[in-house]
Amino acid sequence: MQITGKSERYSREILRKIKDLHKKQKHQLVSLQEFCDFIGLNTDEVEQKLK
C-alpha cells in the first residue's frame, strides 16, 4: 500500500530521518503521528486509507 506514492527505498529514508529527528534507536518504531507530522499529512485521512 502506498500513502506517499514514493518508492520503498525513499520511504525507508523518510523513516530514518524521522528516527534521527526523534532520537530513536533502530529497533524503535515511528508512530503514525510522527510520520504525519514529518510528511505534512492529516492523521485522520491516513488512518482512513489504512483501514
Q: What is the pLDDT of residues 1-50, one digit of tens each?
A: 677 788 989 999 999 999 999 999 999 999 999 999 999 999 999 999 88
As a whole number of angstroms, the distance between CA 22 and CA 46 comes to 21
Global pTM value: 0.83
Q: Got the DSSP string for 1-51?
A: --SS---HHHHHHHHHHHHHHTT--TTSPPPHHHHHHHHT--HHHHHHHH-
Domains of the chain: which residue ranges?
8-50
